Every structure is written in structure tokens, then in C-alpha cells.
């Protein structure tokens, strides 16, 4: 929309003032030149935000529909626990192998198109897995679903960040909160279908079609045009926001204080080295040239170390969040029922507590990030995970464990969105590359977590294996320094 809506008091609390018009520069697909900024009214921006929320909702709901049907699939295919575990591992394996293509696909076809198409193919993969007549088909369906899910994940987060930049305040956590709502609803629908013995082909076909149609309907309300380049995104920033450091800038400054020169430090070092090399009067020309070249190479090498050091820290933060989530979904029920003697219903409350508290954390996460910054919120979350789950494991009981998993979900609520936001603004990478790498590598947490916990549990006990959860909280505390301490100022409300 190019017209402005008149001022209205009926706008929702998170809407911006009606007299404010938002712009986003884009590139033409033929010439690559920047087009004039396209005005977006508050109503159009709100529509884009709602459409992204629909993508997150469907992404959470599609896969969760399958989870309650796993026991039925295992029984129908007569699978052992080991065979089933290997089949389930095909999902994160597909995500790891296909995830790196997301950045290229987004740059070529736009994040909006990629997110919708990949959502549809995710539903297809889930359907194939649900109706699989043999183990190989089950693994193949989950592999396809995992591959498409990883591409959807990067694309919807990329588009969500485009919308967030226009809002000029944090809204990404609200999208991940909607994902949690979709996951809970999908699990409830799957459980109901299992309870009423609805055939798997019918159940998964209905859910796949419904959620795919929702994603397709949301497409028309997403932001138009290809992805803006870094230069164009910076060109549209309000001058008042130029002084606000990005997550990457803050991260490199934090690394500089630890002994690794950051981007700004490298620039000053390079300048100083160049001046020193040319100012000397006693050195011979060859010596001066060699000294200057060496001085210039050191800052470049340090820049590479700083860039990938920050990226690695962001991966650790995101993977820690993934590890905690997977521990709750894979092991909470087994630990509560097997080690603590809880009933089947009560054993399921551990996962519900984690997802429920994670939803609450994401609902309030954006306001907390706007007020305190990503670094402070992440550190508080890591401390909550470390203390909450640590106490639950030190003094094991059913109530303490349920509360511990709930606190773990609350603590990791903002970690993955924070890491993705920081990676998307990380300098030195092509647009979408940092986000793609973090989105891809965090899935290593989902891939390695079950085997690690299982191996430790077999060697000692599941209680000992779950110590990986407070360890993840400790890692967040250590690596959160790469996150920003300040966010751009919010628009007037």
C-alpha cells in the first residue's frame, strides 16, 4: 500500500503511529540498481507482520502433528528403538545437508517465496513419513521434512527480520512465540487424532493441506520485492539510529576487549600501521614495503578471526537453546516416568511446562530485549537454566523436575532469535549468509543431543545425562558477550 491510513486510536498496542510511513529499499532484478524507497503504511506493515506469524505458526504445527503418532508408527512397522532412533535422526540430518542452500535460494527467489514453497514440501515429507510402509520410507520422509524445515526456518526468520527492521524495535521473539503456539496446537491435534484412531493418511493429509493453504494465503501479505542488500538496508536507516551499535559491532568490541582486535580496532590498527610504514626515514624502501605489507596482513587475519569467532559464539548460543529444547522433548517424559515413577499423564507435563514457559518467555522477550538488550536477557536466561535445572537434578522429585524443565524453557526462550538476529547483521558476510550458517549449525544441537544424553544415561544414569541442560545454561553465560547491549530506539507509539 502506498497511501497512509488516518490516525486512529484503535490500533493495537504494538502498532506504530499512523502518521509514520516506513520505507524499504530494494534492488531491481534486472539491473541491480536501487529503486526509490517504497512507502509502507502502518496497516500494510501490520499485515506483513501477521503474515510472518502465520508462517511460524504453520511451521510449528505441521511437524508437531506427527509426534503423537510415533508409537503407532513404531508398532505398525515393528521397529526396534535403535531403528526408530536412526530414522528420527534423518530429520536433523536432512536439515544439516540442505540448510546451507537457504541463503542462495533466498537471494535468488526471495525469502517470502522460499518460505511458502518449503512449508508445502515439509508437509509432503511429514505425510510420506506417516504413511511409510517400511523403515526406508519413514527415514526418507523425515529426511525430506527436515531438509525443507531448515530452509523454511531460515527464510521465515529472514523475512521476519526484514519486517523487524521496518518496525525499528524487537519483534522477532513474538514470531517464535507463535511457533510455540503452533507446536502445542499441532501436538494436541495429533494426540486427538491418535485417541480417536483417525487413520494416519487421513490425519496428515488434512493437517498438511490446511496448514499449507494457510501459508499460501499469507504470501500475498508478505513484503514485496527481493531481499535488500546490506548497503541498501543501511541507507534506509534513520540518521538518529546510526549511533546505535549492531549486535555484530558490539560483539567485535567485546572480542577486542579480550585480546582479539574487532572491526573498529582493526581499522585503527591498519591506519596506524600504514602511517608507521610510510613515516620512517631510516628504513630502506624494501624494508619499509615489507613492514607495511606485514602490518596490513595482520589486521586482515585478525578480522577473519574476529568474524568467525563471533559466528562460532552465536552458534554455541543457538545450539545451547536447541539442546535444552531437545532434552525436554526427548527425555523429560522418560526421566519422570522411569527414574521418578510419575504416571504417564504427569510424565507428559515436563514437556508441556517447557513449551508453555518458553511461549511466555517469547511473548515478553521483545519488551525485555528492547529495555535491557540481548546480552543481559540471554545471560539472565542462561542463569535461569543453570540454577533451575541444576536444583531439580540435585534434589530429584516430580514437582521439582517439572518446575526445572519449565524454567529451562523460560531461560532459552530468546536465545535462538537473539543469535539469528545478531548473525543476520554480522559484517563480512553476504546478505543471509550469517543467518543461514547459524540456522544450519544450531541443528547440530538437535542431532547430537539425544546420542550424548543416551550414552551418558547408559553408562551412569539419565539423571547424570541431563546435566547437559545446566551445562548449556553455563555456556550461554560465557558466550553471551557477543550479543548487543543496546537496540535501535522504538518508534513513537
Q: What is the assigned CATH class of domain 244-277+297-493?
A: mainly alpha
The per-residue pLDDT for 284 is 46
Task: Render pLDDT for 90-112 as a digit per residue (tens, 0 to 9).
Answer: 888 898 888 778 888 998 899 99
H or E stretch including 23? strand 22-24
Rg (CA), the chain: 24
Q: Which residues of the chain are in CATH 1.20.1250.20 domains? A: 37-235, 244-277+297-493
Tell me: the pLDDT tens digits for 260-295? 333 333 333 334 434 343 444 444 445 455 555 555
- The larger pLDDT score, comparing residue 261 to residue 55, is at 55
Q: What is the helix (H) or strand (E) element at residue 95, kind and residue range?
A: helix 81-99
The pLDDT, as a whole number, for residue 254 is: 45
* CATH 1.10.10.10 correct for 37-235: no
Give CA separation, 94 vs 110, 273, 303, 450, in Å. Answer: 22, 47, 32, 16
Q: Across residues 204-232, what is the average pLDDT?
A: 85
Concatenating the DSSP letter of every residue in 311-373 gives HHHHHHHHHHHHHHHHHHHHHHHHIIIIIS---HHHHHHHHHHHHHHHHHHHHHHHHHHHHH-
pLDDT at 404: 94
Predicted confidence at residue 345, as pLDDT, reads 66
Is the CA virtual torsion 455, 460, 462, 464 positive or negative? negative
Collapsed DSSP state (helix, strand, coil) of residue 14: coil
pLDDT of 422-470, one tens digit each?
888 777 777 777 877 887 787 777 777 777 777 787 788 888 988 999 9
pLDDT confidence tier of residue 348, bands split at 50, 70 and 90: low
- Report the share of the chain in percent with pLDDT over 90: 29
Q: pTM higher than 0.75 for the full model?
A: no
pLDDT at 17 over 70: no
CA angle (263, 269, 275) in 5-degree steps: 140
pLDDT of residue 156: 93
Indicate the average pLDDT of the chain. 76
The tens digit of pLDDT for each residue in 140-157 reads 999 999 999 989 998 999
**C-alpha torsion angle, residues 412, 414, 420, 421 (rounded to 10):** -160
What's the rounded mean pLDDT across residues 361-385?
89
Q: Which three cell numbers stand for residue 198?
A: 483417525
pLDDT (mean) for 225-232: 58
d(CA 303, CA 225): 33
Alpha helices in 221-284 (DSSP H): 230-235, 247-257, 263-279
Closest CA to 154 of 294, 30, 318: 318
| Residue 259 confidence (pLDDT) | 40
Q: Which residue is listed with cell 525443507?
A: 148
pLDDT exceeds 50 at position 18? no
Amino acid at each position: 500500500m502506498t497511501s497512509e491510513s488516518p490516525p486512529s486510536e484503535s490500533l493495537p498496542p504494538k502498532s506504530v503511529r499512523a502518521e509514520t510511513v516506513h520505507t524499504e529499499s530494494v534492488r531491481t532484478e534486472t539491473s541491480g540498481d536501487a529503486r526509490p524507497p517504497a512507502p509502507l503504511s502502518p496497516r500494510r506493515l501490520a499485515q506483513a507482520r501477521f503474515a510472518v506469524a502465520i508462517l511460524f505458526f504453520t511451521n510449528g504445527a505441521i511437524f508437531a502433528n506427527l509426534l503423537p503418532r510415533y508409537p503407532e508408527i513404531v508398532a505398525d512397522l515393528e521397529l526396534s528403538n535403535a531403528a526408530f532412533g536412526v530414522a528420527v535422526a534423518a530429520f536433523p540430518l536432512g536439515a544439516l545437508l540442505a540448510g546451507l542452500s537457504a541463503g542462495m535460494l533466498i537471494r535468488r527467489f526471495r525469502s517470502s517465496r522460499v518460505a511458502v514453497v518449503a512449508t508445502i514440501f515439509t508437509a509432503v515429507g511429514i505425510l510420506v513419513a506417516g504413511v511409510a510402509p517400511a523403515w526406508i520410507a519413514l527415514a526418507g520422509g523425515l529426511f525430506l521434512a527436515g531438509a525443507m524445515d531448515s530452509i523454511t526456518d531460515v527464510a521465515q526468520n529472514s523475512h521476519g527480520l526484514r519486517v523487524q527492521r521496518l518496525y525499528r524495535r524487537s519483534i522477532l521473539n513474538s514470531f517464535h512465540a507463535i511457533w510455540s503456539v503452533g507446536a502445542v496446537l499441532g501436538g494436541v491435534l495429533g494426540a486427538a487424532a491418535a485417541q480417536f484412531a483417525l487413520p494416519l493418511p487421513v490425519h496428515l493429509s488434512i493437517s498438511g493441506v490446511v496448514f499449507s493453504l494457510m501459508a499460501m494465503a499469507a504470501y500475498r501479505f508478505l513484503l514485496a520485492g527481493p531481499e535488500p542488500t546490506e548497503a541498501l538496508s543501511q541507507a534506509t536507516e534513520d540518521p538518529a539510529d546510526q549511533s546505535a551499535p549492531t549486535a555484530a559491532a558490539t560483539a567485535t568490541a567485546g572480542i577486542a576487549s579480550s585480546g582479539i582486535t574487532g572491526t573498529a580496532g582493526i581499522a585503527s590498527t591498519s591506519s596506524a600501521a600504514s602511517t608507521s610504514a610510510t613515516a620512517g626515514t631510516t628504513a630502506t624502501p624494501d624494508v619499509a614495503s615489507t613492514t607495511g605489507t606485514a602490518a596490513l596482513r595482520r589486521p586482515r587475519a585478525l578480522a577473519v578471526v574476529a568474524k568467525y569467532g563471533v559466528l562460532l559464539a552465536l552458534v554455541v548460543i543457538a545450539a545451547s537453546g536447541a539442546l535444552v529444547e531437545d532434552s525436554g522433548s526427548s527425555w523429560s517424559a522418560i526421566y519422570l516416568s522411569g527414574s521418578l515413577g510419575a504416571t504417564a499423564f504427569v510424565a507428559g507435563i515436563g514437556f508441556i511446562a517447557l513449551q508453555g514457559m518458553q511461549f511466555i518467555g517469547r511473548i515478553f522477550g521483545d519488551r525485555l530485549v528492547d529495555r535491557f538488550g540481548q546480552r543481559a536477557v540471554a545471560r539472565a536466561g542462561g542463569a535461569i537454566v543453570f540454577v533451575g535445572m541444576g536444583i531439580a537434578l540435585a534434589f530429584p522429585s516430580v514437582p521439582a523436575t517439572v518446575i526445572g524443565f519449565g524454567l529451562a524453557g523460560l531461560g532459552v526462550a530468546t536465545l535462538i532469535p537473539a543469535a539469528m538476529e545478531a548473525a543476520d547483521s554480522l559484517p563480512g558476510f553476504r546478505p543471509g549468509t550469517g543467518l543461514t550458517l547459524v540456522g544450519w549449525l544450531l541443528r547440530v544441537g538437535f542431532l547430537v543431543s539425544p546420542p550424548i544424553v543416551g550414552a551418558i544415561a547408559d553408562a551412569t544414569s539419565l539423571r547424570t545425562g541431563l546435566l547437559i541442560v545446566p551445562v548449556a545454561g553455563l555456556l550461554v553465560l560465557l558466550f553471551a558477550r557477543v550479543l548487543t547491549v543496546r537496540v535501535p530506539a522504538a518508534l513513537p507509539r
